[in-house]
Amino acid sequence: MAWFNRQKANINTEQQREMPDGLWTKCPSCGEVIYKKELELNYFTCIKCRYHFRVGSNEYISFIFDEGSFVETNENIFSGDPLDFTDTKPYKERIADSIEKSGFNDAIITGYGTVNGKKLSIAIMNFSFIGGSMGSVVGEKIYRAAKYSLDKKVPLMIISASGGARMQEAALSLMQMAKTSAVLAELGEAGVPYISMLTDPTTGGVTASYAMLGDINIAEPGALIGFAGPRVIEQTIKKKLPAGFQRSEFLLDKGFIDFIVDRKELKEKLTSVLQWFEK
């Protein structure tokens, strides 16, 4: 983060000069400049305004699972290029670049582990991989995570962060909405719990399938959650959208979220929810 924020942050300039660049970050919500180490200790939430920074699957694994308990599964599934898709860049290249840049093989990881000793199967999306878009790999990995839950009778959790279906797989991406919803229906019939957690942002085909289908739907504070993106709505109705529109608190108010959970309390809340299902 650039140094010109220092006045606002009210940090001693002398001290700051000695800091190598990149150790501080600025809260996009309140402008507070936070020492990165402190941000990390605070679950990547702002120490002043509680703003939840976007994080990826590695962070959620560390927030949720007992140390050393997490086992990743299905890590070797990669996107194909079924339609030989090219826009301004071939899809194959886009995938290769995203793998290199994000460090993930696709927009989701799956696995299982224990949460205060309770077993949990999980799928976590990574927004950093092509906007967390859902293509065949995301669909297949969710399918497999749900099948694992079904076989082992272990609750399933999906943490969503996505701009929606992946355009480069066109109709096949659309079919992943059906595939994931169908396997969740099967899971539901077997009486295995499914917890959906929506994080910033969750929109489009992901919201309109598995993200809204939890036995409970929970969300992080301030997350953008919707079907249509705000820009599309503004273009359609030619009006500015009200403040707070499509944020977690709005969805809670409209009845689509069971509760909002602060990251700091996620593990404890999750434990008590898992306990409710158990006993």
Partner 1 sequence: MAANPILEFELPLYQLEEKIEEMRELGKSINLTKEIAELEKKVEDLRHDIYKNLTRWQRVQIARHPARPITLDYINGIFTNFQELHGDRSFGDDHAVIGGFAQLNEQSVMLVGHQKGRDTKSNLYRNFGMANPEGYRKALRLFKLAEKFNKPIITLLDTPGAFPGIEAEERGQAEAIARNLFEMSRLRVPIIVVIIGEGASGGAIGIGIGDRILMLENSWYSVISPESCSSILWRSWDFKEQAAEALKLTAKDLKEISVIDEIIPEPIGGAHRNHSLMFDILKKTLVSEIKSLIKEKPEKLVNARREKYYKLGVWEEK
Under rule CB under 5 A, which residues in 50-79 are in contact with Zn ion? 51
Q: For 110, phi and psi rounded to 5 degrees? A: -125, 160
**Which partner, Zn ion, partner 1, none, binds residue 51 by CB below 5 to 8 Å per kind?**
Zn ion
Give the length of the chain.
279
Compute the distance between CA of residue 212 and CA of residue 180 in angstroms, rounded to an integer. 12
Q: What is the DSSP string of 121-173?
A: EEEEE-TTTGGG-B-HHHHHHHHHHHHHHHHHT--EEEEEEESSB-GGGHHHH
Pairing of strands 156-162, 118-125: parallel
**Which partner, partner 1, Zn ion, none, binds residue 200 by CB below 5 to 8 Å per kind?**
none
Q: Which of 176, 268, 256, 191 is nearest to 223 (CA)?
A: 256
Closer of 48 and 89 to Zn ion (Cβ): 48
| x-marked contacts with partner 1 along 107-146 as a string, rule CB under 8 A | ----------------------------xxx-xx--x---
**Which partner, Zn ion, partner 1, none, binds residue 7 by CB below 5 to 8 Å per kind?**
none
Reported as type and span, the H/E element at residue 73 is: strand 71-73
Angle at 99 between CA 87 and CA 61, to 5 degrees: 130
- Does 100 sit near partner 1 (CB under 8 A)? no
Query: Of 8-16, 20-28, 34-42, 201-209, which segment contacts partner 1 by CB under 8 A?
Result: 201-209
SS3 35: strand
**Which partner, partner 1, Zn ion, none, binds residue 2 by CB below 5 to 8 Å per kind?**
none
Q: What is the DSSP string of 6-29?
A: HHHHT--HHHHHTSPTTSEEE-TT
Supply the minimum distance, in Å, between the C-beta of residue 220 and partner 1: 17
**Which partner, Zn ion, partner 1, none, binds residue 30 by CB below 5 to 8 Å per kind?**
Zn ion
Sites of contact with partner 1 (CB under 8 A): 76-80, 82-83, 85-88, 135-137, 139-140, 143, 165-167, 169-179, 181-186, 188-189, 204-205, 207-213, 225-228, 232-233, 236-237, 239, 241-242, 245-246, 254-256
Sites of contact with Zn ion (CB under 5 A): 27, 29-30, 32, 46, 48-49, 51
